[in-house]
Amino acid sequence: MKTLGLAFFIFLAGCSSNIQVVSVGFEKASAPPPPNYSLVNHWASLPEKRDAADSVPINSGYRNDQSTAKADVFFIYPTIYTGEPSKKFPWNADLTDVALNREIQQSTILNQASIFNGSCRVYVPYYRQAHLYAFYTSQDDGAKALDLAYQDVRAAFQFYLEHYNNGRPIIIASHSQGSYHGMRLIRDFFDGKELQKQLVMAYLVGRAIPRDAFAFIKPTERPDETGVWASWNTFARGYIPDTYDRYYPQALSINPLLWNAGEDFASKDLNTGGVGLKFTMVPHLADAQNHANMLWTNKPYVKGRAWLRTKVWHRADMNLYYGNIRNNVALRIDRFMSLHP
């Protein structure tokens, strides 16, 4: 069993139940200034920019190969705006918030976007993400905040297409709120459209995506398929969330160790490495099995695992399977290039 501090895995438990409330209505709140994607500092990650997406985990042996990558990834990060709402801009994040941008770099860009730097040039826009409360309110305010956030994501992707892509193969990758926007992006730009020909894969992780989310793009059934998509939401084995009936009956779950929607158990021996404390690679960190449109996992195989009580592994959806995702990206790109020489 590998030695790894438990503190990191406690941190990677699901979102706090202490949700900060946005008390002012969306229409009465001020919105932050919109981004200008011609400015480098409005991108969290660019291939030519030094940022956390250039990192590789300790003890992994990986390299940042963006300079020779044959494909691009457009990554949409999850909700990091979760604390006390800003008095000035309560519903959507301010792109000039230095502390929030630092947290974005040190969390999701480091632990998630870096997965793709071995085979892709990495593009990640800062965007006016909706506050976490947008997913909990029953009012229209949350939907409006999410729509504002998506308009930024859409504008960033349009800028990417016009200024960076140059016809290269594309991977869309996202987590949580990012996958909410990623699903819309796929529908607007790829599904049944000319750009679908450039789609290698869509990793829409950490959100319950319906099996029929797209008309022309199907879920993956094999590790080397291209032009397909995958999604999963990770919970402790035996756990059914209170929100199950609301989100999961129609959802798709793809096992990131097997890359299909079957319910076969995948042992930790198939896990080439997850990322844990201090951005360190840990071989055989977690197993995986689809169950009732969710992904179940036993406790991560770390020292002291008996003390873990986590039921919701939402924040670790990608950390637990970091190496397998990274290898799968490379496999699908190689397959795509062989089909489109």
Q: Which residue has the tokens 């084995």?
A: 237
What Cα–Cα distance (Å) separates residue 179 from each residue in 41, 68, 82, 233?
Answer: 23, 27, 17, 11
Asked if 201 contacts 272 with a C-beta cutoff of 8 angstroms, the reply is no
Examine the pLDDT at 5 and tell me if it is beyond 50: no
- What is the torsion angle, in degrees rounded to the nearest 10, for the CA atoms of residue 261, residue 267, residue 273 and residue 277? 100
Q: Look up residue 327 and give its two tokens.
A: 């290898």
Q: What is the pLDDT of residues 237-286, one digit of tens each?
A: 999 999 999 999 999 999 999 999 999 999 999 999 999 888 999 999 99
pLDDT-derived band at 3 (thresholds 50, 70, 90) equals: very low
Query: Which tokens go with 323?
Result: 């190496």
The pLDDT, as a whole number, for residue 341 is 85
How many angstroms separate the Cα of 286 from the Cα of each of 61, 116, 134, 273, 307?
20, 20, 31, 8, 16
333 pairs with which residues across the strands?
A: none
> Tens digits of per-residue pLDDT, 108-154?
999 999 999 999 999 999 999 999 999 999 889 999 999 999 999 99
Q: What is the pTM of this model?
A: 0.95
**With contact defined as beta carbons under 8 Å apart, do 208 and 233 qualify?**
yes
SS3 235: strand
- Please state, in angstroms and as integers, the Cα–Cα distance from residue 12 to each residue in 240, 242, 244, following that order: 18, 19, 20
pLDDT given at position 304:
86
pLDDT digits (tens, 9 = 90+) for 62-112: 999 999 999 999 999 999 999 999 999 999 999 999 999 999 999 999 999
Name the residue ranges covered by the structural domains of the chain. 6-339
Q: What is the pLDDT of residues 164-195, one digit of tens each?
A: 999 999 999 999 999 999 999 999 999 999 99
